[in-house]
């Protein structure tokens, strides 16, 4: 899978995506990630300007369409595939695990990061396939959002985690939150690891974990729990 990130702050993205699990996956060639500086594509060779004031007035600056378009065309030239283009925006559909799973099946993504007041509407009409938000709040730029999407998608790609069970049992994958996790020592600050986890009885461990998943989802995320129960009732009716 290939992910391109078009941004005014490529170093910010590059630094995060060179570390830990995603950094190792890139080194192993399991996923290709390229961060592009939109400023490099400014037709203004002297000042490398990429923004201007909004027509109609108002505070802040708007990113101009041309540097973004030239960056997009260069990415097209560099790759054999046409990317699915996502603009990170507070106006987009809210990103979740289901969306990460769907995007993982897309061979080539281009994530466009806005800054300031956002980007000229015409570039969205010209190249963007969809808009995604990482939550109902406003960030100063799309970089953190692009990093969130890249991390969530990349970790699902083959070979990035030791095996699929690493994410299959994770929170949200089956509509429930994950059960509590414990590691050594067995006793810490008067708190003991639950006996069942030390029993070696796999069936009992599995059923304990499932009931913990259910109860903590009900407590922490009643919205998810209600959706899970509804889905189960529907399946039972069939
Ligand atoms: N004026 C824009 C509006 O009201 O829709 C907000 C611009 S915001 C200050 C600057 C940039 O940050 C946006 O262009 C977008 O790329 C990014 N951004 C801000 N909040 C975001 C969010 N919740 N999810 C994804 N991207 C976000």
Extended strands (E) in 31-103: 32-37, 51-52, 62-63, 84-94
* Res 171: pLDDT: 77
144 alpha carbon – ligand 1 mean position (Å): 10
Question: Which of 13, 90, 141 for a ligand 1 pocket mutation test, highest count of atoms within 8 Å of Cβ?
Answer: 90
* Res 167: pLDDT: 76
139 alpha carbon – ligand 1 mean position (Å): 6
Closest C-alpha residue for ligand 1 atom 21: 90
* Res 103: pLDDT: 98
**Distances, alpha carbon 129 to alpha carbons 4, 84, 122, 126, 159, in Å:** 14, 6, 13, 9, 28
Q: Pick the atom of ligand 1 nearest to 116's CA.
A: 10
| Cβ–Cβ < 8 Å for 150, 33 | yes
116 alpha carbon – ligand 1 mean position (Å): 8
What is the enclosing helix (H) or strand (E) of 154? helix 143-154
pTM for the full predicted model: 0.95
CA angle 71, 19, 83 (to 5 degrees): 30
Domains located in the chain, CATH noted: 2-154 (3.40.1280.10), 169-237 (1.10.1270.20)
* Res 174: pLDDT: 87
What is the enclosing helix (H) or strand (E) of 179? none
Ligand 1 cavity residues, CB under 6 Å: 88-91, 113-115, 117-119, 133-135, 137-142, 145
Q: Pick the atom of ligand 1 nearest to 141's CA.
A: 12
* Res 170: pLDDT: 76
Q: Pick the atom of ligand 1 nearest to 134's CA.
A: 24
* Res 233: pLDDT: 93
Q: Tens of pLDDT along the chain (238 residues)?
A: 999 999 999 999 999 999 999 999 999 999 999 999 999 999 999 999 999 999 999 999 999 999 999 999 999 999 999 999 999 999 999 999 999 999 999 999 999 999 999 999 999 999 999 999 999 999 999 999 999 999 999 999 999 999 887 777 777 888 999 999 999 999 999 999 999 999 999 999 999 999 999 999 999 999 999 999 999 999 888 8
Cα Rg of the chain (Å, integer): 22
Backbone angles phi, psi at 205, to 5 degrees: -65, -45
85 alpha carbon – ligand 1 mean position (Å): 16
């Amino acid at each position: 899978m290939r992910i391109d990130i078009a941004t005014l702050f490529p170093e910010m993205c590059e630094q995060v995506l060179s570390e830990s699990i995603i950094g190792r996956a890139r080194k192993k060639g399991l996923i290709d990630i390229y961060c592009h500086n939109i400023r490099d594509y400014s037709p203004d060779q002297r000042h490398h300007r990429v923004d201007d004031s909004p027509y109609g007035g108002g505070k802040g600056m708007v990113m101009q369409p041309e540097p973004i378009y030239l960056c997009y065309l260069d990415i097209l030239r560099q790759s054999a595939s046409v990317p699915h283009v996502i603009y990170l925006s507070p106006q987009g559909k809210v990103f979740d695990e289901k969306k990460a799973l769907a995007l993982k099946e897309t061979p080539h993504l281009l994530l466009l990061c806005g800054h300031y007041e956002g980007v000229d509407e015409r570039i969205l009409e010209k190249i963007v396939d969809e808009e995604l938000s990482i939550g109902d709040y406003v960030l100063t730029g799309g970089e953190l959002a692009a990093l969130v999407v890249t991390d969530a998608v990349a970790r699902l790609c083959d070979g990035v985690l030791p095996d699929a069970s690493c994410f299959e049992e994770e929170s949200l994958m089956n509509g429930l939150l994950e059960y509590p996790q414990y590691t050594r020592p067995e006793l810490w600050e008067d708190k003991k690891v639950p006996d069942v986890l030390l029993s070696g009885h796999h069936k009992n461990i599995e059923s304990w974990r499932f009931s913990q998943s259910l109860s903590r989802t009900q407590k922490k995320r009643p919205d998810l729990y209600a959706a899970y129960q509804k889905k189960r009732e529907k399946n039972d009716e069939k």
